[in-house]
Amino acid sequence: MNKSPLSLATGGLLAMAAVIGVGRFVYTPILPPMVEALGLTKSEAGIIAAANFMGYFAGALLAAVRLPGSRRTWLIGALLVNAAALAAMGLVSSMPALSVLRFAAGLVSALGLIFASALVLDRLAATGHGRLSAVHFAGVGTGIAVSAAIVALLHDWRTMWLASGALALAAGIAVIVLVPPDHPGSHLAAGSKRVPLPPGFAPLAIAYGLFGFGYVITATFIVDMVRGTPSIASLEPYIWVMFGLAAAPSVALWTGLGARWGIRRTFAVAAFVEAAGVAVSALWVTESTVIAASVFVGGTFMGLTALGLIAAREGGGDPRSRIALVTAVFSAGQILGPVFAGHLYDRTGSLAVPSAAAAAALAIAGLLTVRQNR
């Protein structure tokens, strides 16, 4: 069954919206009411977030090995488990149960991202429609914005999780319709050619890990920071929607610049822009700086994600192992970020120090890649 390139890209958009936009990031707007209802500390909230990123790390490693079955089968499985894990969050209360569910959601988020990207991007490139990759990656911002809007209309944190699960399931069903089965011979067990890592891969992977650490602190705690600051608390229903709306068109912008400036040089510029957004929220917590942080981080993090994955795909052969490797390094940075920030938040009552560290990490990521024009 053949699908038009736009239908395929739309299927990719919905897959990314489900497993990343909702599956990973809906935790941020649900976190404040869940923390209040369950009496969680910032450290405990950070541990639950880190469990998700540990699952993401495990999923990236799993995707790097040879797995039986087709890429589409694994993608559909990831979509279904993701929806179930989201809904189940509204049915439990204990730290162990919440952490296990977020670990499971993280694992299938990584599988979903890697298999959707390998499947959709390969097919788009093969048909000469590589520019539609921007539609695929726009799914993350779309999922963030739509789920944030739905959460803002609800008042009970359990209902928020159940609604998020339903949203992810609906998107997953649409993916099944829009993304056709693999062509014969595309099963993962079939021997894909292994090639050496391309030159400059190590700096790229390190920069990607620093990016993971750098963006995740703001992405995890910005809504909670807004709620905890009386002078800007009125922004709470809107700040995460703004984050998602900034993310949705960002991939088209940054990949377009990448075509003109070079992928890695553009990655560096985006990292510097994101560092500025994180830094202003570290130095001053005001309405304007929080909005700037939301737009700057929201408007760059998916561009950086896409640019890193595009750079990792270069080098020939099956890109899955390289995508999985940079995703694993990226997730290692994400695991450290929330735990580090939550611990300091509990000790100091502020995100200033962890946010400053995040901004520094992003600046270093930019320095590592700024000279690697590709």
Is 194 a member of any domain?
A: no
CB 345 within 8 A of CB 354: yes
Q: Which domain holds residue 225?
A: 5-181+199-369
Is 238 a member of any domain?
A: yes
Q: How many CB atoms lie within 10 A of CB 214?
A: 32
Q: Hey, which of 87-91, 117-121, 277-281 has the most confident mean pLDDT?
A: 87-91
Q: Give dist(CA 308, CA 274) in Å, integer.
A: 15
Is 190 a member of any domain?
A: no
Is 186 a member of any domain?
A: no
Residues 337-374: pLDDT tens digits? Answer: 888 888 888 888 788 889 999 999 999 999 999 876 54
- Number of domains making up the chain: 1
Is 32 a member of any domain?
A: yes
Is 192 a member of any domain?
A: no
Average pLDDT of the segment spanning 12-33: 93
Is 88 a member of any domain?
A: yes
The pTM assigned to this predicted structure is 0.81
DSSP readout, 132-197? Answer: GHHHHHHHHHHHHHHHHHHHHH---HHHHHHHHHHHHHHHHHHHHHHSPPPPTT--TTS-PPP-PP
pLDDT tier for residue 191 given thresholds of 50, 70 and 90: very low
Residues 287-316: pLDDT tens digits? Answer: 989 999 999 999 999 899 889 888 887 765
* Structure-model confidence comparison of residues 265 and 130, the more confident one: 265
The CATH number that applies at residue 58 is: 1.20.1250.20
Is 374 a member of any domain?
A: no
Residues 217-255: pLDDT tens digits? Answer: 888 888 888 888 888 988 888 888 898 889 888 888 998
Angle 334-336-340 from CA coordinates, rounded to 5°: 125
3-class state of residue 81 by DSSP: helix
Q: Give dist(CA 274, CA 272) in Å, integer.
A: 5
